[in-house]
């Protein structure tokens, strides 16, 4: 949280208030008596209420030795203070002869810079019964506190136990941040009071003077905020000729600002206990009561003691809670590791479940960028803003990480989305591949509520100056903690880096694995191809024998065979012819598996003319063959012989699978300029390289059912019986596909049954 911004005049008002000497108010609260003593224990100053409590006028006491008031044994206890450190107190019960009777007091003597101050608070008896019962309560409270490891639970327990001991209407634990603004982190209250839990208070609520005093004196008790203060007589200390320093006095009176401030909240009694960490004020236990409420000295001491226990336990709880958080982050990291290493889809492993990616660094939004694909999770800027942010943040990255809790201050373009991303953490996984993960945090203003407007605590006076006065309202007010998010903790940054290492490690080992598999695949493909070649080649010889002997039998022994025998032999002959066709197809395919492309610039118009010539020559009805070429084809780098085979096969099929009276075939190509993109969307196959032309062969034939659009490219896949459409080995399209793929191209088809088909292919 940042400090509110003030004008110069406002700032002066603040510092004036901060400088106001609250430790020398010259008065005390009226529930006790104060005596300032010299080093000889002579009474130098008294509070102007000695008559009420002690039955003696101040003038009667001033200049007298302390022994005038209390017995020598107790004077001795006070004397011991002189040998102690400033602020150290000696407390004892004392019986004093007042005007009409004897009365017990709690006497608290403490060393000051000058000499000794003795405070006397009337008490009911000298009995220590109440002390023992409170001691039991405190013992129980301490045991409970020690058992709780969770920081939030611990602080709640502290509030609960303090409330049990003092019975105030509301007990809160405040925690201060680095800017000294406070927030209520635990609260126990009377049911009908409105909650303050979670509210934030500006640093100005507790002036620097008071803050400093809280670090020295751990307890401040104001049992009645409406009570009139009692002046000291004389006003100045006769030895120092200055106001008496009441820093360590329990009875020290309070200033008007503090009274009004609390009265605005309906508070009449106030008890504040300091929580100290590493000699600094970490927070306060603040107890409010709606009516004046007196608490005995023993109970106050018990509360102070409890505050000290809280202070010493706190370090463990904080480190335990940090440790707990770190453990949570670690377990998220290992969950990630497991899912990434097992996932087929890397992005899924990162973003499913979405909350895991956010929890890893306690963010409210994230973006995962893999190549140019960006996936958003939670509350984030839009894709274009994220894209621009990556470009910008990439220049700021060091050690693959960039983090800021005030992005809009560094990059003015981020102002538009400050609500979602005032905090940015960017993790670069790979610059080359453009792999990034970004996490976002909203502006603090979105996440906290201020208890009242801090600006209202500074009020303009008629003369134009400013004074600090208490706020009139404790309604929630959002202070403008502008353009900052909550800061990224070092353990969160570590968590991001650990994720990067895991991803890099796994991706690398996956790449290794893939390379091994590829090698293995290549080897077994080669083996398979040579096996297919050898097998089909060797099969041809016995097949030829079967064919030859069958024809010999048919020609030379026809007279010894009956009709059925002849028919059987004819079937053997035609089957062996078919088998040879199949073997030839297999042989061709296996040859292609081992083929080396002989790439050369090829004018496809020339090549197509050859194909068409051969095709026409093979048909008796060549005059009727309608082949349309809307525009000349380009010259491309390809293996001329193989591409010839592609066009021959596709052209042959286009006429073969056509039952129309007027058959036609169109051969052409799309280039990018001609708006291929639109067409691409209708095709199932993505174009590998958008620069290269897409060739097509379109016919008005029988068409192909939708569910066969991919299967027709499989070896020996035919959609019709042998008798129909002139038969065929069912290998033509498998061979075409193989050739196209040897050229790093793709082949696919669109078709409408009864209307016609359109085969597309590319040659990279």
- Give residues in contact with ligand ADP (CB under 6 A): 649, 653-654, 657, 699, 701-702, 704, 712, 717-720, 728-734, 757
CB of 703 to ligand ADP, least distance (A): 6
- Taking the complex as a whole, how short is the minimal distance between the CB of residue 614 and ligand ADP, in angstroms? 17
H helix runs in 368-426, sequence order: 383-394, 407-410, 418-421
CA distance 197 to 185: 6
Spatial separation of the C-alpha atoms in residues 142 and 148, rounded to whole Å: 10
Nearer to ligand ADP, 309 or 709 (CB): 709
Q: How far is the CB of 729 from ligand ADP (least distance, A)?
A: 5
Q: How far is the CB of 608 from ligand ADP (least distance, A)?
A: 17
Query: What's the CA dihedral at 208, 210, 214, 215 to 10 degrees?
Result: 30
If we measure between CA atoms, which residue out of 342, 369, 381, 338 comes closest to residue 356?
A: 338
Q: What angle do CA 624, 628, 634 make, to 5 degrees?
A: 145
**Closest CB to ligand ADP among 189 and 750?**
750
- The smaller minimum CB distance to ligand ADP, of residues 243 and 718, is found at 718
The smaller minimum CB distance to ligand ADP, of residues 489 and 717, is found at 717
Residue 453 or 757: which CB sits closer to ligand ADP?
757
546 vs 719 by CB, closer to ligand ADP: 719
Compare residues 282 and 655 and give the one whose CB is closer to ligand ADP.
655
Nearer to ligand ADP, 380 or 648 (CB): 648
List, as own/partner pairs, every contact residues 706-711 make where C-beta atoms lie below 8 angstroms and the sequence separation is at least 24, other chains included: 706/751, 709/684, 709/748, 709/749, 709/750, 709/751
Closest approach, Cβ 695 to ligand ADP, in A, equals 15
How far is it, in rounded angstroms, from Cα 599 to Cα 173? 81
Q: Shortest distance, CB of residue 570 to ligand ADP, whole angstroms?
A: 23
> Which letter does DSSP use for residue 167 in this model?
-
* Residues comprising the chain, all counted: 764
Residue 396 DSSP class: T
Determine if the peptide bond prior to 554 is cis (ω within 30°).
no
> Hey, what's the torsion of the CAs at 416, 419, 424, 430, to 10 degrees?
-60
Smallest gap from Cβ 617 to ligand ADP, in A, equals: 19
CB of 727 to ligand ADP, least distance (A): 7
Nearer to ligand ADP (CB atom), residue 204 or residue 658: 658
DSSP 595: P
Contacts of 299 (CB under 8 A, 6+ apart): 130, 134, 165, 166
Structure tokens of 507?
């991706």
For residue 477, what are the contacts with CB-CB under 8 A and spacing of at least 6? 449, 450, 451, 452, 453
**What is the smallest separation between the CB atom of 660 and ligand ADP, expressed in angstroms?**
11
Assign 3-class secondary structure to 81-124: HHHCCCCCEEEEEEEEECCCCEEEEEEEEEECCCCEEEEEEECC
Closest CB 544 distance from ligand ADP, rounded Å: 22
Environment class of 653 (CB within 10 Å of its CB; exposed 0-12, middle 13-18, buried 19+): buried
Closest to 96 (Cα-Cα) out of 107, 82, 110, 84: 107
Residue 243, number of CB atoms within 10 A of its CB? 17
Give the C-alpha distances (Å, rounded to integers) separating 694 from 630, 669, 712.
14, 5, 20
Q: Which residue lies nearer to ligand ADP by CB, 40 or 722?
A: 722
CB of 634 to ligand ADP, least distance (A): 23
Residue placing its CB nearer to ligand ADP in the complex, 229 or 728: 728
Helix axes 563-593, 732-742, angle to 10 degrees: 10
Task: Provide the 8-state DSSP code for 230.
Answer: E
- Tell me how far, at minimum, the Cβ of 657 lies from ligand ADP, in Å: 3
Give least dist CB 753 to ligand ADP, A: 9
Find the distance separating the first CA and the last CA of the chain, reported in whole Å: 59
Nearest by Cα to 285 from 166, 119, 455:
166
């Amino acid at each position: 949280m940042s400090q509110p911004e003030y004008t110069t005049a406002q700032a002066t008002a603040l510092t004036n208030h901060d400088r106001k000497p609250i430790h020398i108010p010259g008065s005390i609260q009226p529930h006790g008596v104060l005596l300032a003593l010299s080093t000889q224990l002579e009474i130098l100053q008294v509070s102007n209420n000695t008559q009420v409590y002690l039955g003696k006028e101040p003038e009667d006491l001033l200049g007298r030795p302390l022994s005038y008031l209390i017995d020598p044994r107790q004077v001795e206890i006070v004397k011991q203070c002189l040998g102690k450190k400033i602020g150290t107190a000696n407390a004892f019960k004392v019986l004093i002869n007042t005007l009409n009777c004897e009365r017990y007091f709690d006497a608290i003597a403490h060393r000051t810079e000058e000499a000794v101050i003795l405070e006397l608070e009337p008490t009911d008896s000298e009995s220590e019964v109440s002390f023992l019962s409170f001691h039991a309560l405190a013992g129980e409270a301490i045991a409970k506190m020690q058992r709780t490891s969770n920081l939030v639970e611990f602080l709640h327990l502290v509030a609960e136990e303090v409330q049990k001991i003092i019975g105030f209407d509301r007990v809160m634990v405040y925690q201060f941040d680095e800017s000294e603004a406070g927030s209520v982190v635990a609260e126990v209250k009377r049911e009908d009071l409105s909650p303050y839990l979670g509210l934030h208070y500006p640093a100005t609520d507790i002036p620097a003077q008071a803050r400093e005093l809280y670090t020295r004196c751990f307890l401040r008790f104001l049992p009645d905020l409406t009570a009139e203060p009692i002046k000291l007589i004389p006003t100045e200390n006769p030895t120092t000729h200055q106001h008496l320093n009441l820093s360590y006095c329990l009875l020290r009176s309070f200033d008007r600002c503090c009274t009004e401030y609390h009265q605005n909240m309906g508070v009449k009694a106030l008890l504040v206990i300091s929580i100290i960490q590493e000699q600094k004020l970490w927070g306060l236990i603040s107890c409010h009561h709606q009516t004046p409420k007196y608490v005995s000295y023993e109970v106050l001491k018990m509360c102070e003691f409890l505050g000290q226990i809280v202070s010493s336990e706190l370090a463990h709880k904080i480190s335990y809670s940090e440790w707990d958080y770190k453990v949570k982050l670690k377990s998220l990291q290992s969950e990630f590791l497991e899912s990434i290493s097992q996932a087929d889809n890397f992005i899924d492993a990162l973003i499913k479940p979405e909350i895991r990616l956010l929890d890893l660094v306690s963010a409210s939004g994230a973006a995962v960028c893999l190549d140019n694909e960006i996936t958003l999770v939670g509350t984030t800027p839009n894709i274009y803003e994220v894209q621009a942010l990556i470009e910008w943040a990439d220049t700021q990255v060091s050690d693959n990480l960039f983090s800021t809790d005030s992005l809009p201050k560094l990059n003015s373009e981020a102002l538009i989305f400050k609500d979602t991303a005032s905090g940015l953490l960017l993790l670069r996984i790979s610059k080359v591949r453009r792999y990034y993960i970004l996490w976002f945090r909203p502006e603090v203003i979105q996440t906290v509520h201020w208890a009242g407007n801090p600006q209202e605590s500074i009020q303009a006076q008629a003369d134009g100056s400013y004074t600090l006065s208490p706020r009139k309202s404790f309604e929630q007010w959002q202070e403008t903690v502008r353009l900052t998010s909550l800061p990224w903790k070092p353990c969160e940054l570590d968590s991001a880096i650990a994720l990067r290492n895991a991803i890099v490690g796994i991706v690398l080992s996956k790449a290794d694995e893939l390379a091994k598999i590829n090698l293995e695949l290549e080897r077994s493909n080669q083996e398979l191809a040579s096996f297919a070649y050898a097998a089909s080649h060797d099969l041809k010889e016995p097949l030829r024998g079967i064919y030859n002997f069958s024809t010999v039998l048919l020609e030379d022994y026809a007279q010894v065979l009956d009709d059925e025998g002849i028919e059987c032999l004819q079937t053997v002959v035609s089957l062996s012819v078919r088998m040879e066709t199949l073997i030839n197809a297999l042989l061709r395919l296996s040859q292609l598996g081992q083929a080396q492309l002989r790439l050369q610039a090829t004018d496809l118009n020339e090549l197509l003319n050859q194909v068409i010539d051969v095709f026409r020559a093979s048909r008796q009805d060549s005059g009727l063959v309608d082949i349309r070429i809307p525009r000349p084809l380009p010259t491309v780098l390809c293996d001329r012989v193989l591409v010839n085979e592609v066009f021959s096969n596709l052209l042959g099929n286009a006429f073969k699978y056509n039952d129309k009276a007027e058959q036609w075939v169109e051969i052409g190509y799309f280039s990018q300029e001609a708006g291929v993109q639109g067409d691409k969307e209708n095709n199932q196959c993505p174009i590998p390289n958008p620069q290269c032309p897409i060739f097509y062969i379109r016919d008005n034939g029988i068409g192909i059912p939708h569910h066969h659009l991919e299967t027709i490219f499989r070896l020996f896949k035919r959609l019709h019986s042998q008798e129909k459409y002139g038969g065929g080995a069912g290998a033509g399209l498998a061979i075409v596909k193989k050739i196209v793929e040897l050229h790093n191209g793709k082949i696919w088809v669109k078709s409408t049954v009864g209307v016609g088909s359109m085969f597309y292919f590319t040659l990279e």
